[in-house]
């Protein structure tokens, strides 16, 4: 649709600008319409094939976009491998052993390079793939603004600082999103990304052993899978009901104290976020609308544009 009806896209663009007052640079949903008109269909095709092959992959691609944007903006830095001049972000504490989907990005990039060499950035691939993953898994769609360029370096230290920890309380979560220019409402709605995907035992262990704001039967069930020591990599759905379908069950779980992570349950713990959680439970379309607004805004955090950065030929290394 982005390269179709120009009038419709212009109207959508005006709406998106009004929703995203902190947008930097000049991004446009029509950015590749002339230079690589097959860009969006290529990304969509590979994403769908990847999810069909590995049902977890949709959540993994969405997470890559999040973890990219929270570190120096949406510049594809999370994709860079270590080299002689820097240690990449892949081994940062929030990413090490858990971020995945790099092979899918490689496949998308290879197909794009064959169709239109040196045109589509890796940062834009992440933004498009996140949207296509959510839509394929039953979630909302949104118009992705494009034209980001890729960084030539990564920042492992920043990844350790700015990617939100699963142990944060509500104040910490709010501050973590605010430093990125994201609002309290953005934080609560974007946390709903945890309606898909899985978490490792090492991340939810503190919540099931140390916290009291958790259903005891749920905690007991999880302790059988995740002992005090060992089984660090055992997986559990972030939404224990439908971890492979994008819906509002994540928020329903919070109402009955079945959030998997400490940071999840913090959204419904007799605090300022409670009313939003209740709204998203009773009005799933409200969640979808707010999630779409939030991820559009997140996708426009400090993009490199114009002559900044580069368009990598290989997403794993600078040109």
Q: Do residues 232 and 201 touch, judged by C-beta distance below 8 A? A: yes
Q: Do residues 255 and 278 touch, judged by C-beta distance below 8 A? A: yes
Among 67, 194, 207, 262, which one carries the catalytic annotation?
Answer: 67
Sign of CA dihedral 72, 76, 79, 85: negative
Q: What does the DSSP assignment read for 183-211? A: -HHHHHHHGGGGGS-EEEHHHHHHHHHH-
> Among this protein's residues, is 67 annotated catalytic?
yes
Helical packing angle, 122-136 and 57-69, nearest 10°: 140
What distance in Å separates the CA atoms of residue 162 and residue 179, rounded to the nearest whole number?
9
Closest CA to 154 of 237, 70, 226, 222: 70
Q: Which residue has the tokens 């609308």?
A: 289
Neighbours of 289 (CB within 10 A): 14
3-state secondary structure of 30: coil
Instruction: Say what the alpha-carbon torsion angle 281, 285, 286, 287 is, to the nearest 10 degrees.
Output: 60
Neighbours of 269 (CB within 10 A): 17
Sign of CA dihedral 107, 111, 117, 120: negative
Q: Which residue has the tokens 């799933």?
A: 284
Neighbours of 97 (CB within 10 A): 12
- What residues contact residue 141 under an 8 Å CB cut-off, 6+ apart? 131, 134, 135, 292
- Any idea which residues carry the catalytic annotation? 67
């Amino acid at each position: 649709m982005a390269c179709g009806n120009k009038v419709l896209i212009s109207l959508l663009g005006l709406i998106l600008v009004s929703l995203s007052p902190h947008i930097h640079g000049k991004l446009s949903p029509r950015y590749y319409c002339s230079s690589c008109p097959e860009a969006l269909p290529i990304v969509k095709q590979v994403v769908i094939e990847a999810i069909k092959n590995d049902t977890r992959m949709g959540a993994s691609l969405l997470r890559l976009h999040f973890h990219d944007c929270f570190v120096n903006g949406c510049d594809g830095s999370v994709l860079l491998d270590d080299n002689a001049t820097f240690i990449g972000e892949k081994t940062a504490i929030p990413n090490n052993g858990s971020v995945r989907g790099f092979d899918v990005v490689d496949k998308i990039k290879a197909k794009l390079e064959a169709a239109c060499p040196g045109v589509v950035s890796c940062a834009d691939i992440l933004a498009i793939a996140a949207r296509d993953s959510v839509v394929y898994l039953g979630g909302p769609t949104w118009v992705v603004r494009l034209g980001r360029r890729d960084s030539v370096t990564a920042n492992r230290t920043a990844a350790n600082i700015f990617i939100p920890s699963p142990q944060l309380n509500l104040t910490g979560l709010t501050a973590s999103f605010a430093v990125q220019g994201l609002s309290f409402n953005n934080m609560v709605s974007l946390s709903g990304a945890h309606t898909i995907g899985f978490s490792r035992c090492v991340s939810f262990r503190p919540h099931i052993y140390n916290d009291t704001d958790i259903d005891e039967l749920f905690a007991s069930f999880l302790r059988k899978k995740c002992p005090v020591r060992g089984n660090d990599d055992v997986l559990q759905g972030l939404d224990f009901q439908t971890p492979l379908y994008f819906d509002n069950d994540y928020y329903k779980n919070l109402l009955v104290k079945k959030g998997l992570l400490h940071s999840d349950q913090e959204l419904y713990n007799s605090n300022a976020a409670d009313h939003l959680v209740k709204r998203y439970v009773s009005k799933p379309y409200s969640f979808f609308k707010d999630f779409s607004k939030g991820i559009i805004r997140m996708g426009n955090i400090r993009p490199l544009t114009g002559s900044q950065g580069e368009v990598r030929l290989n997403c794993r290394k600078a040109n």
